[in-house]
Amino acid sequence: MTPPHLRCLSAPGFYWSPPSSSLLLRKLAMSVKQRTSYAEGKPALRGVVFDMDGTLTVPVIDFAAMYRAVLGDEGYTAAKFGSPGGSVDILHHIETWPPQEQQRAYEIIADFERQGLDRLQIMPGAAELCGYIDSKQMRRGLITRNVKASVDLFHRKFGLKFVPALSREFRPYKPNPAPLLHICSSWGIPPNEVMMIGDSLRDDVACGKQAGAFTCLLDENGRYGPIDSLSKDLQPDFQVSSLSEVQSLLDINFELLQHPQTTL
Ligand SMILES: [Mg+2]
C-alpha cells in the first residue's frame, strides 16, 4: 500500500505537484530545478520552514474556547462555517474591529497563549527531524502567528534554535507568503528549494503555495481527509500524520543539499 506521505505521487517519477496558483512561479521553479537536480531527477531542497503551534509543539491551547471567548458563541459558529477543517482566522476577524474591542480581544488571546506556554511540550519527532536537517547542513526556519515571547520561550525551553524565526510582529503574517519569502531571501535560497511544514491548511499550506515552496501538511488526526478531497488551491504536496514520517519523505523525494554560505 502506498505510504500516506506519498499519496500525492500518482505515477513513477512524478514526485511533485507544483503550486497551481502561479504558472510563472512553476516555470521558474522548473528551470531552477533542472539546474540543481541530480542524476535521479529529484528536486533540490536546502531549507525547511516550520510552523510552531501544533507542528513543533503539541497543541495545548484550547483554540475553540479562545475563539468563543473572543467572538461569542454565535460569532464563533458563524466564523467556523465554511472554513477548511473548521479552522478560524481569529487575527483576521479582529483586524477590522474598533481599537477598544480589538484591545480586549488581544488581551483574551494573550491570556490563553500564556496558559498554553505553561504547558508547552515539544512535538514527538521534532528534535530528531531537526537533528537530521542539521546533519544535512540544510537551513531551518520558523513562522508563527504567535508572539515573539512564545518563540523565545520555545527556543529556551527545548534548545532548538530556528533562524530566522518570524512571529506575529512580522507583518503581514501567514497565510500571506511574505514571511516565507523573507526567510528564503535571507537564506539566499529560492522558494522552490524550501519546504513549509505546518498543521494548518489555511495558514501554512496557503503561505507555502503562494510563495512557490513545497508544502507538507501535518494532519495528526485526519481532520482534513485525503489530499485529493481538498480544494486544488490548497492541496499540499505532501501530507503526514506525524513529524516522524518527514525524514523518509525528504530522503525519498528530494536531493537534500547543503545551504549556501550566507551570513544571517
Ligand atoms: Mg499551527
| pLDDT tens-digit series, residues 75-115 | 888 888 766 666 678 888 888 899 999 999 999 998 988 88
Distance 36 CA to ligand 1 centre (A): 31
131-142 as b/e, with b when 16 or more CB fall inside 10 Å? ebbeebebbbbb
Residue 112 near residue 90, CB atoms below 8 Å: no
Q: Which three cell numbers stand for residue 157?
A: 525551553
Share of the chain above pLDDT 70, in %: 81
**Mean pLDDT over residues 199-216, rounded?**
97
Distance 50 CA to ligand 1 centre (A): 9
pLDDT at 161 over 70: yes
Contacts of residue 261, defined as CB under 8 A and 6 or more positions apart, other chains included, come to none
Instruction: Indicate the DSSP class of residue 43.
Output: P
pLDDT at 228 over 60: yes
Q: How many Å apart are CA 200 and CA 114, to the nearest integer?
A: 21
Instruction: Say whether 251 is catalytic.
Output: no
Q: Which three cell numbers stand for residue 49?
A: 520552514
Distance 199 CA to ligand 1 centre (A): 5
Instruction: Say whether 219 is catalytic.
Output: no
Share of the chain above pLDDT 90, in %: 62
Q: How many Å apart are CA 137 and CA 40, to the nearest integer?
A: 21
- 22-78 pLDDT per residue, tens: 333 333 344 344 334 455 589 999 999 999 999 999 977 788 899 999 999 988 888
